[in-house]
A and B are shown apart, each in its own frame.
Chain A
């Protein structure tokens, strides 16, 4: 039986709405439900995709898994560590990459790699070893001494990636991993995700790009309005349909028209 690495159970998250937000969203509700009783599991050596439109609750779910947000109710475990009670342990076995987490423009990739290695409690030798391995794998060596502020988008994405996994985590969480990347860098990232899977890591990614899910994910969960609308292995979930056709069928069944 495959080992379950991440187990989310009945995760719920709401955000208070300010008066201005209520006016903009034309609602009288004082809270917005971002995630509503979401449960799923990710196993060792698989890529699990969270697919859904903007505002579905994908990023909130990933933020809860990475302990940046506290669920209102429900819990999730990462390698058996609760995201509510053992935050530091979760952070040490999880790498989180999202465009919202930025790197200081003043520093070089070389310096930041050492800094974040230290923040994860790694020894100097281990940091140096990981740096050699990852910088060479992603071609960061050529710009390791250039300030982050002077890097191109592709270079920056590579640096963010290597820093997110500096501590060699068992679980890697990616929020929209190929957004804004050129085709070459996007390919480097997708190849690396497959490589991580081959190494037995569990990867959870959120995306709204169907082709990316079809290319990479072993299993997929479709989230609509914070709820798990459908889940399963790609073949089981789609049947005769393509993922895109299946997604829109589920969406129409739940919400009616697309617009």
Chain B
């Protein structure tokens, strides 16, 4: 009853203030406008002409051709005779990629079939072909192994926009959304003396902490959804191609991104609320949280540049969500990683809520001079 009352108060505060609602929805609109604009500047309107070496046969190649044609581009298939020479061409940029199917690929689906994509991840055309090819294979049902190699060594390797940077950018926007509401609600209330008024009542400190974190997480999720929709809407333009032809695969792939990020939101809110409870003012809390955000950004960026990061990453808060999203965008569905990561994030959130409750009982923190 008291917990519900505390949550309702936060909702009332947010939903009855149009400025707060608009400020929460605005990032999504900004992302859409900005990324759409960036996409139109980055990608020329000229049609691409891809040259792809191929070994082995599959109906998948017809589908890839169709998707590329749908995007107004062309593909020329070349027979792979000498892999060394073909690799050199991919490296030089005169060929886009190499696609190697195992023998009798279509008839051995689910029975040892596999495909290997060799491309230059730093090349725009290479990344474009890789994204379309992996999407097509995913649509077919992944009854075979897909492996990918990039022709450049790791120091020269470019970062794939979709799988590498996108989750990082997304988490940054979500963090900003969480920060704006949580700083105001926790550090703001503490600074104004209104939090102490609640502490004079018989409401449990754990209820006060949990009420804040739950309500602010729900509110922050609105911001996260807004950013998500803005990002999803602007992706085709930003990437320079659309996967609409694949009958909704991209929409489904996008939707899969939501659970990891939504599980990370309460943790981010709880972390900011902890820092806010410790701080004497919004200004102080804001300074600490900015440092926290920079650390998170740096660590997140590392995952974008380091391929095949170890499974241990699921234990790292927030980072596990980023890696989960990267996996989903790469066409995999790392179920156990996502589930363990989400579970651990919930656990970390619970620990932080208990910590906040403990801090609310500390007179040095609440009424320190």
Given contacts A119-B5, A119-B203, 10 further A-B contacts (CB under 8 A): A15-B369, A68-B367, A92-B202, A100-B196, A102-B194, A106-B16, A107-B12, A116-B197, A119-B198, A119-B202
Among B12, B193, B201, B363, max chain A CB count under 10 A is at B201
Q: Is B139 an interface residue (CB 8 A)?
A: no
- Can you name 5 A-B pairs with beta carbons within 8 Å? A68-B199, A102-B196, A118-B2, A118-B5, A119-B2
State the majority secondary structure of interface residues on A: loop
* Structural contact, B197 and A66, CB atoms closer than 8 A: no
* Structural contact, A119 and B201, CB atoms closer than 8 A: yes
Write out the residue numbers on chain B whose beta carbons fall within 8 Å of the beta carbon of A88.
Answer: 202, 204
Write out the residue numbers on chain B whose beta carbons fall within 8 Å of the beta carbon of A111.
Answer: 12
Residues of A98-132 at the interface with B, using a CB-CB cut-off of 8 Å, are 100-107, 111, 115-116, 118-121
Number of interface residues of B (CB under 8 A): 26
Number of interface residues of A (CB under 8 A): 29
A103, B363: Cα distance in complex, Å: 20
Write out the residue numbers on chain B whose beta carbons fall within 8 Å of the beta carbon of A107.
Answer: 9, 12-13
Q: Is A230 an interface residue (CB 8 A)?
A: no
Q: Is B308 an interface residue (CB 8 A)?
A: no
Q: Is A70 an interface residue (CB 8 A)?
A: yes
Q: Is A69 an interface residue (CB 8 A)?
A: yes
* Structural contact, B203 and A69, CB atoms closer than 8 A: no
A211 to nearest B CB, angstroms? 28
Closest A residue to B198 by beta carbon equals: A119
B50 to nearest A CB, angstroms? 57
Q: What 1/0 flags go to B1-28 for Cβ under 8 Å of A?
A: 1100110010011001100000000000
Q: What 1/0 flags go to B191-218 for Cβ under 8 Å of A?
A: 0111011111111100000000000000
* Structural contact, A106 and B367, CB atoms closer than 8 A: no
* Structural contact, A115 and B363, CB atoms closer than 8 A: no
Q: What 1/0 flags go to A117-149 for Cβ under 8 Å of B?
A: 011110000000000000000000000000000
* Structural contact, B2 and A103, CB atoms closer than 8 A: no
Q: Is A43 an interface residue (CB 8 A)?
A: no
Contact status of A69 and B363, CB under 8 A, knowing A100-B196, A102-B192: yes
Give the residue of B13, B203, B363 whose beta carbon is less than 8 angstroms from that of A70: B363
A68, B12: Cα distance in complex, Å: 27
Give the residue of A66, A105, A115 whose beta carbon is less than 8 angstroms from that of B9: A115
Q: What 1/0 flags go to A177-199 for Cβ under 8 Å of B?
A: 00000000000000000000000
* Structural contact, A101 and B1, CB atoms closer than 8 A: no
A100, B2: Cα distance in complex, Å: 23
Q: Is B106 an interface residue (CB 8 A)?
A: no
Closest B residue to A115 by beta carbon equals: B9
